Amino acid sequence: MAKKTTSSHASRASHEERQVSVGLPSDERAASLEIYDTTLRDGAQAEDVSFSVEDKVRIAQKLDDLGVHFIEGGWPGANPKDIDFFRMIKTIPLRHAEVIAFGSTRKANNAVGQDANIQALLAAETKTITLFGKSWSLHVTDALGVSLAKNIELIGDSIAYLRSKGRRVFYDAEHFFDGYKTNPDYALDTIRKAVESGAERVILCDTNGGTLPWEIRQICDIVQRECAIPLGIHAHNDCEMAVANSLVAIESGFLQVQGTINGIGERCGNANLCSIIPNLELKMNRRALTDRLSHLKDVSGFVTEIANLMPNKHQPYVGDAAFAHKGGVHIHAVLKNPATYEHIDPVQVGNRQRVLVSDAAGRSGLLDKIEDYGIKLSKDHSKVQELIDTLKERESEGYQFEGAEGSFELLMRKAMGSHKPSFQLLGFRVIVEKKQDDGTPLSEATVMIKVSEVVEHTAAVGAGPVDALDHALRKALDKFYPQLREVKLLDYKVRVLAANKGTESKVRVLIESGDQKDKWGTVGVSENIIEASWQALADSIEYKLLAEK
């Protein structure tokens, strides 16, 4: 059942020879950059994301293992959860990353030594503090409600006070690019004050995410002439430019780049480190991580799971579809030489090449897929055309095997005559009963199956009809196949295939299941949603038992 990685069809060299370093002289390209992750603070501000303290600690450990240089842990002056995180993370040994506390300059009516936010930053006991202040005159007058001169004072004495307490300070110049475009002299004055007061890094922030790459380049070049300390970039993605803007800043000479895993963050998100880091290392020949790039996909998936978000399979580099091939022409070429349709070797970022199963794959793609399962057939074998015909017929009926490779393997083995079913369905019945308008419906399923010559008849209840059917099937099979206890239903999707037929429309059910070692997808199609669900559930169980043989 072990499947080979299809990127082995051609040598890694065919990928590597396509990598081109751009933009910087070779001595500057060799310089290591600073990767500053703000997933735990800025990423946590994304809609639908809420990290517990334990979640944040686990993500911090994963980021440290990836090899990022700085982890922004949160704003200890803003909420108790972040205070708890900084207390807990001190007990966790990290090998690569430094945890940083984040907060704002003091409030205008507070003395710096009595400002609660400043004191909370010190109480976090991090060696470095990232402090943000206003660079845009609009924010100074309309948000803070103070004079431009007063804002300069807040920046200066907040940084100086933290430095006097032995802290290293990074200064986030919030809304810098908007501020520069509105009032360049004042925007520059704010960062001059930060440098004068002891900041060791100045990070220019495109907080509204509205600046375009050529504007970024021009402004970055100007600021570098004005600022003697290393600079960083913090970009938001409101114009889909956060990654491009970050790379332009690095190419112009910036040292530090800030972003989040998978680009999660406020509004449209932050600069996506899962794109920035491989672009830096593989396209720009800039050192970002220490030989940990191959862990990138794993970290991306981990954060997605902890954040309880749906994975973006089309995400560059780390998405499941990033190196997936469906068209017959593409498949035929990429199996000869991956560089024909892949810009890097997917193994470099921990991903893999995938040949998708569909009626567009053609004979070469299908043969390669069959070989993945340890079956070798000649191109002219009669079973190959039979399987192609079956596949096309099933897809015309609405089946989709791209996300249901468990069902595809069963279909393939049935066509080859090599599959013996683990059980036979004799019948099932599902009852949904609701007794009161405000009552919770009760779902009950009854299943009758045969294993060898033994008939098993069981019933079970569930949160819904499909859940009840799943419970009843597992209950019926439990004494024959106890290994099914470790299988969990991870995801359930329903798509209406012909909406113009209303409630008579055919539906496709996709189920993702998993155990302690693997995940697999299965599919069912029918005008009856319960029947479609049964097909996918039965295939899920059959696939698990097939893997055990």
Average pLDDT for the chain = 89
Q: Which 3 state secondary structure label does DSSP give 282?
A: helix
The CATH code of the domain that includes 472 is: 3.30.160.270
Residue 477 lies in a domain: yes
Q: Give 281's DSSP letter.
A: I
Write the pLDDT tens digit of every residue in 432-458: 998 877 778 999 999 999 999 999 999
Last-in-domain residue among 242, 271, 306: 306
One domain, residues 394 and 430: no
Least confidently predicted of 8-17, 30-39, 86-95, 462-471: 8-17
- pLDDT (tens digit per residue) in 225-284: 999 999 999 999 999 999 999 999 999 999 999 999 999 999 999 999 999 999 999 999
pLDDT for position 335: 84
Lowest mean pLDDT among 4-18, 332-346, 520-534: 4-18
Which residue, 175, 182, 165, 177, is CA-closest to 126?
165
Using one digit for the tens of pLDDT, what is the confidence trace for 381-418? Answer: 777 777 777 877 887 788 877 668 889 889 888 877 77
Determine, yes or no, domain membership for 376. yes
Q: For the purposes of burial, counting CB atoms within 10 Å of the CB of 351, is it exposed (0-12), middle (13-18) or buried (19 or more)?
A: buried
| Claim to verify: residue 384 and residue 454 sit in the same structural domain | no
Of the ranges 259-273, 336-350, 503-517, which one carries the lowest mean pLDDT score? 503-517
Q: Give mean pLDDT, residues 280-303.
A: 93
Longest dimension (CA), the chain: 88
Is 10 among the domain residues? no
Please give the span between the terminal C-alpha atoms of the chain, in angstroms, as a whole number: 9
Q: Kindly state whether residues 267 and 226 are assigned to the same domain.
A: yes
Verify that 373 and 252 share a domain, yes or no: no
Phi and psi at 447, nearest 5°, equal -130, 135
385 plus 447 within the same structural domain: no
Predicted local confidence at residue 61, as pLDDT: 96
- pLDDT for the residue 4: 38
**Same domain as 490, residue 538:** yes
The whole model's pTM is what? Answer: 0.73
Closest listed residue to residue 194, CA positions, set 118, 131, 112, 110: 131
pLDDT tens-digit readout, 206-222: 999 999 999 999 999 99
102 and 43 in contact (C-beta within 8 Å)? no
User: Which residues neighbour 136 within 8 Å (Cβ) at sequence distance 6 or greater?
Assistant: 174, 175, 176, 178, 179, 182, 183, 187
Task: Identify the band that residue 547 occupies on the pLDDT scale cut at 50, 70 and 90.
Answer: confident
The pLDDT assigned to 366 comes to: 67
pLDDT at 6: 40
Domain containing 96 equals: 25-306
Tell me if 394 is assigned to some domain. Answer: yes
342 and 429 in a common domain: no
Are 472 and 367 within one domain? no
Q: Which residue's entry shows tokens 């810098």?
A: 176
Question: Are 191 and 337 in the same domain?
Answer: no
The last residue of a domain, from among 416, 451, 484: 416
CATH of the domain at 195: 3.20.20.70
Q: Is residue 123 part of a domain?
A: yes
Q: Quick one: pLDDT at residue 3?
A: 43
Q: Are 213 and 241 in contact (CB under 8 A)?
A: yes
Alpha-carbon gap, residue 468 to 477, rounded angstroms: 14
Q: Is residue 114 part of a domain?
A: yes
406 with 459, same domain? no
How confident is residue 20, by pLDDT bands cut at 50, 70 and 90? Answer: very low
pLDDT interval class at 546 (50, 70, 90): confident
**Structure confidence by residue, pLDDT tens digits, 356-387:** 765 555 566 667 667 766 667 677 777 777 77
H or E segment to which residue 479 belongs: none
Q: Residue 284 burial (CB < 10 Å; 0-12/13-18/19+)?
A: buried
Task: Please report whether residue 379 resides in a domain.
Answer: yes
Q: Which residue has the tokens 């993370």?
A: 89
* Domain assignment present for 347: yes
Q: Of 355, 388, 416, which residue is a domain's last?
A: 416
Question: What residues are paired with 476 via a beta bridge?
Answer: none
Instruction: Locate all alpha helices (DSSP H) within 90-211, ordered by sequence.
Output: 116-123, 137-139, 148-164, 176-182, 184-197
Total of domains in the chain: 3
Task: Give the amino acid at 136.
Answer: W
Residues 93 and 229 in one domain: yes
One domain for residues 50 and 195:
yes
CB atoms near residue 58 (< 10 Å): 16
pLDDT of residue 412: 82
